[in-house]
Chains A and B, each alone.
Chain A
């Protein structure tokens, strides 16, 4: 696989700027038929920040996540799983408030009980107590599973408040990857970007380069993450990194404004910048197709 070809193709597709974005891990286009036996799709939701209160940013803070859930329930085709890539809840310095928010969040997403739902923490969920409360509600903070030829890895880069993966987890990652073939189809979910997207706003993982180094020998690796509350597409070598929108507050592009502050709500464009995505895995050709969805203001 030629990395340069991939990057050019990636930029060409990214420049479309529309609803459908295609990230291809090979130099073949993704316009192939969907084969239900081998291919599948999943939904990524991120940064729901349940408990956030800021009317100028999102006057429908209590309604946005339920609206997204309604839309998922109405999907014609059922995703094989739904993954929340962290910051499920908004931080509070009061542990009892954090606990209440986690409980409420869990109750709300229980509406998705007919789907397989997976979680991982963001720093708002886990960084104040090294993930202890998160684990009580949602289980492990890092894990792997296999599905239809894809090896999925969840990396926790938030339970350490320093925003690192840490030596123990990196060793776990190394041990896991030893079991994979060089051409394995690997998808990583994580909260923070593994690369230095914009350290001035803490959009980085301090030891993310160590994880990338471990992943680099594998030909087919794609990373889906959250944290930055907007779509962003980047390559480190041949590894593609795709960030997702938030379901609570949109953030501006890195460094585009002096301070890292949420984008204010626009009354005539409600829910602008918020949404979720579907990712189609066309396993045979090592291809992923990303389709972005906004929030439908009419959903009740």
Chain B
């Protein structure tokens, strides 16, 4: 009986990891772009945006959702959230990174 419970718990954990992994979106920041620059997520579904930089320090800010993080070399950064309002939210690099900094932008699209 105990073994069955343990197997069930293990199965649920694996399932949870799989669900989590599905909602992790990897984003690379580099001078002067985000890849991908357009990210689509679903309202009501938890999501993890996982950022890494390919060159120097950057930052990402999604002002419409009051979310931001620094993106330091060698230190992947995460933003975890559950979007609730469908819409398009601009995101920008908010750590000045050079001549193309002002064009380093992207869009987060939250669908129903």
Asked if A123 is an interface residue, CB under 8 A from chain B, the answer is yes
Q: Known: A162-B59, A162-B70. Is A123-B96 also a contact (CB below 8 A)? A: yes
Size of interface on A: residues with Cβ below 8 Å to B = 17
> Is B99 in contact with A91, judged by CB distance below 8 angstroms?
yes
Chain B residues numbered 50-95 whose CB sits less than 8 Å from any CB in chain A: 57, 59, 61, 63-64, 70, 90, 92, 94-95
Q: Which residue of chain A lies nearest to B63 when distances are taken between CB atoms in the complex? A: A199
- B98 contact from A128, A163, A201, A259, Cβ within 8 A: A128
Asked if A127 is an interface residue, CB under 8 A from chain B, the answer is yes
> Is A202 in contact with B99, judged by CB distance below 8 angstroms?
no
Chain A residues numbered 155-187 whose CB sits less than 8 Å from any CB in chain B: 158, 161-163
A contact residues around B99 at 8 Å (CB): 91-93
Asked if A38 is an interface residue, CB under 8 A from chain B, the answer is no
CB distance from A180 to the nearest CB of B (A): 31
Asked if A73 is an interface residue, CB under 8 A from chain B, the answer is no
Asked if A4 is an interface residue, CB under 8 A from chain B, the answer is no
Q: Known: A162-B95, A163-B94. Is A199-B61 also a contact (CB below 8 A)? A: yes
* Total residue contacts A-B, CB cutoff 8 A: 38
Main secondary structure of the interface of B (DSSP, over half): mixed
Asked if B97 is an interface residue, CB under 8 A from chain A, the answer is yes
> Is A161 in contact with B105, judged by CB distance below 8 angstroms?
no
> Is A200 in contact with B63, judged by CB distance below 8 angstroms?
yes
> Is B61 in contact with A161, judged by CB distance below 8 angstroms?
no
A contact residues around B94 at 8 Å (CB): 162-163, 202, 206
A contact residues around B57 at 8 Å (CB): 161
Size of interface on B: residues with Cβ below 8 Å to A = 17
> Is A161 in contact with B92, judged by CB distance below 8 angstroms?
no
> Is A161 in contact with B63, judged by CB distance below 8 angstroms?
no
A contact residues around B96 at 8 Å (CB): 123, 127-128, 158, 161-163
> Is B98 in contact with A202, judged by CB distance below 8 angstroms?
no
> Is A161 in contact with B95, judged by CB distance below 8 angstroms?
yes
B contact residues around A127 at 8 Å (CB): 96
Residue of A91, A93, A128, A202 with most chain B CB atoms under a 10 A cut-off: A202
> Is A259 in contact with B105, judged by CB distance below 8 angstroms?
yes
0/1 string, A101-133, CB within 8 A of B gives 1: 000000000000000000000010001100000
0/1 string, A194-207, CB within 8 A of B gives 1: 00000111100010
Asked if A260 is an interface residue, CB under 8 A from chain B, the answer is yes
Chain B residues numbered 11-51 whose CB sits less than 8 Å from any CB in chain A: none
Using CB atoms and an 8 Å cutoff, list the residues of chain A in contact with chain B: 91-93, 123, 127-128, 158, 161-163, 199-202, 206, 259-260
The 6 lowest CB-CB distance pairs between A and B, nearest first, are A127-B96, A199-B63, A161-B96, A123-B96, A93-B98, A200-B63
Name 11 A/B residue pairs within 8 A (Cβ), A-sorted: A91-B101, A92-B99, A93-B99, A123-B96, A127-B96, A161-B57, A162-B59, A162-B96, A163-B95, A200-B63, A260-B102
